[in-house]
Amino acid sequence: MPFWWWGARLSTLCLTIAAVVPGVASSAQPASPRFALQISRSTLRQGQTIRLAVRAPAAPGSLKVTFAGRTWPVYRTGPSAWQTFLGTDPTTKPGRYTLTVEAVGPSGTIARIRRDVTVLRVAFPKRRLTFDPETSKLLTPEAVARERQRVREALREAHPTQLWEDPLALPIDGPISSPYGVLSVYMGTTRGFHSGVDFAMPEGTPVRAAGAGIVRLAELLPLSGNAVMIDHGVGVITSYLHMSAIDAHVGQQVQKGDVIGRVGSTGLATGPHLHWGLRVNGIRVDPMPWAVR
């Protein structure tokens, strides 16, 4: 079974809701489309993900998913089938949210499905890091802006279909030195949450692709050092940072287990390690629930 079904009871809601477009008599309207919504969970912790699958005879662009204050892209998986992933992170406020799926049928009628989703608070720990003088010089507003812009450019194109098979594989077999979500304090200044998982391993240790995908970025970044980012499709991106060497190139199609780089300490790092991150439609989530050890 896919990872998002594990340990969770699949919630299914099928219903038809007729709505009338303003200015058109209801008697002229045929029945609105029938929708089936499946979500992997209705309660999740900060940093976790929901998989959403919809069956709807909707045209591209006519299906809208909203959750936690934003609209999420949807990806076609069949003639009347769609899916997407909804991510949360430590900045997602705990509480109850309304997940809404809305579609406009050929006649203009609107169908909606709403579900309540609860996000639970996680007590993330705190870490304090001190860099040597040369490394600390890298942490400037200009460097942060430059790296963010470069990542945005590299990830502008997203593959519309799922390329990986679940579960993802860990990119390296080693001890975790810093988990996801830790509140990071650099040189006495709070810099936000740790957006991935750090594995402490000797320099030069091979780093492997967590799943099949397309390399979108493979270069030296100001803060993340030698970095590789892989597009696995449907808005799922993995990142591999601070490497000593890159063994992949942009546009390369990789398979799970392919060597894409080597552990290092380039960029803003205190020692050799691999930072492994996962983005779900732009939200940096905890990658560990997606993988097996």
pLDDT of residue 278: 98
Q: 67 vs 10, which has greater pLDDT?
A: 67
Mean pLDDT, the chain, rounded, equals: 85
The pLDDT score that the predictor gives to residue 17 is 30
Angle at 136 between CA 133 and CA 141, to 5 degrees: 145
Which of the 8 DSSP states describes residue 107? T
Domain 3-120, what fold? Immunoglobulin-like (2.60.40)
Q: Look at residue 109 in the predicted model and tell me its pLDDT.
A: 64
Rg (CA), the chain: 21
Ordered by start, the domain boundaries in the chain are 3-120, 126-292
Pair of tokens at residue 234:
């449907």
Q: Is the pLDDT of residue 201 over 60?
A: yes
pLDDT value at residue 187: 61
Residues 6 or more apart in contact with residue 5 via CB below 8 angstroms? 40
Are 108 and 33 a contacting pair, CB within 8 Å? no
The amino acid present at 226, given as its one-letter code, is N
* pLDDT(208) > 60: yes
Mean pLDDT over 254-260 rounds to 98
Average pLDDT over every residue of 136-149 = 88
pLDDT of residue 13: 36
- For the domain bounded by 126-292, which CATH number is listed? 2.70.70.10
Backbone angles phi, psi at 89, to 5 degrees: -145, 180
What's the predicted TM-score (pTM) here? 0.86
pLDDT at 106 over 90: no
Residues 211-226 have pLDDT tens digits of 999 999 999 999 999 9
- What mean pLDDT is predicted for residues 111-127? 92
- Provide the strand spans (E) within 29-94: 35-39, 43-45, 49-55, 63-67, 70-72, 75-78, 81-87
Cβ contact 47:23 at 8 Å? no
Strand duo 49-55 + 81-87: pairing: antiparallel
**Cβ distance 83 to 74 under 8 Å?**
yes
Q: What percentage of residues in the chain have a pLDDT greater than 90?
A: 67
Cis? peptide before 167, omega within 30° of 0: yes
Phi, psi of 145 (to 5 degrees): -65, -40
Rounded Cα distance, 154 and 44, in Å: 30
- 158 versus 61: the higher-pLDDT residue is 158
Kindly report, residue by residue over 4-50, the tens digit of the pLDDT. 333 333 333 333 332 322 222 222 233 344 788 999 999 999 999 99
Q: Which of 58, 86, 55 is closest to 73 using CA atoms? A: 86
Residue 282 reports pLDDT greater than 90 = yes
Please give the full DSSP string across 168-218, using - where no structure is assigned: EEPSS-S-EEE-TTPEEEETTEEEEE--EEEE---TT-EEE-SSSEEEEEE
> Greatest CA separation found in the chain?
74
The dihedral of CA 96, 92, 11, 58: what is its sign?
Answer: positive
